[in-house]
Structure 1
Amino acid sequence: MVRTIMVLGLVLAAIGALAFGPQWLETAGTAEERPECDLLSRACTWETDEGAWRVELSTLEEGDQGMEYRLAITVPEAPDRFLAVLRGQSMYMGEYPVPMERQEPLSYQATFTAPFCTTGAEMIWRIDLQDGQKVLENVPWALVFRAEK
């Protein structure tokens, strides 16, 4: 009886791995496979079938919570629920959604502070663009910046 349950459990685990494994593997390595574009050194641009994209990041002033940043994005087509999500590139520190505010029909901005990191200036953040919960897949760059103290 126990042997039957174990075999059945192993068969179900194998079926689950075959069904969901490729999906997990595909999303795990996507950010590392893309070339990096340092947003504090230059604007990152690219072309899609819909048109041109432009992402710029600038430092503002140091606030109570640390350095403030302004993210400006120009898109060829307006997403429904546009978000920029901060994720640690050099180490995992959670996910921090930054809602993008529409400035013009195809222009968005947001102001945010990157969370503090105990490693100081060594922390590199990645910005993933999302439409609601769905990561936009047409971004050819890993949009990154080194947090300033």
Structure 2
Amino acid sequence: MLRAIGVLGGVVVAIALWVFGPQWFDDASQAESQPECDLLSGPCTWEADNGLWQVVLERMEAGDQGMEYQLGITVPKAPDRFLAVLKGQSMYMGEYPVPMERQEPLRYQATFTAPFCTTGADMVWRIDLQDGQKVIENVPWTLVFHAEK
């Protein structure tokens, strides 16, 4: 009985790696192969097939939960469900979806607080753009910023 459970568990793990593994590994390798654009140094702009994109990140005030940031994105075509997903670049700390709110027909904005690591203050975050669950693939940069406590 235990042997059957072990074999079944191994099969489930193998199937999960076969289905989800390429997505996990492609995401990491894609972020590492692109040049970084530090959002706190200035806007990140690029031209895609469908038009001009611009991403701007500004520091706001430090709140109870830490430094607040305001993310602004100008797009050439409005996504259905636009998300910015925070992912740890220097250390894995999970994924934090930030829903983007439409301000104008092609301009979105969100205010968020980046989680910080308790073992050190130097945390680099990556922002991936998504339309619902689908990653927007025309971004030529790895969008990053150094979070402050």
Instruction: Give the TM-score taking structure 2 as reference length.
Output: 0.84
CA contact (8 A) 1:66 1:113 kept: yes
Aligned-residue Cα RMSD (Å) equals 2.3
Residue identity in the other structure for 1:93:
M
SS at 1:42 equivalent: coil
Taking a change above 3 Å as real, the CA distance of residues 52 and 17 of structure 1, as seen in their structure-2 partners, is same
Q: Percent identity?
A: 76
Matched residues in 1 for 2:38 and 2:56: separation?
A: 10
Larger radius of gyration: 1
**Structure 1 residue 118: Cα displacement:** 1.7
Instruction: Give the TM-score taking structure 1 as reference length.
Output: 0.84
Residue identity in the other structure for 1:90:
S
Q: Which residue of 1 is the match for residue 4 of structure 2?
A: none
Q: List runs of 5+ in structure 1 lacking aligned partners.
A: 1-5
The answer as to 2:72 corresponding to 1:77 is no
How many pairs align? 140
The answer as to 2:148 corresponding to 1:148 is yes
* Correspondence list, 1:1-149, <5 A: 25-149=25-149
CA displacement 1:122-145 (0-9 Å, x = unmatched): 100000000001111000100000
Q: List runs of 5+ in structure 2 lacking aligned partners.
A: 1-6
**Structure 1 residue 121: Cα displacement:** 2.8
Taking a change above 3 Å as real, the CA distance of residues 47 and 66 of structure 1, as seen in their structure-2 partners, is same
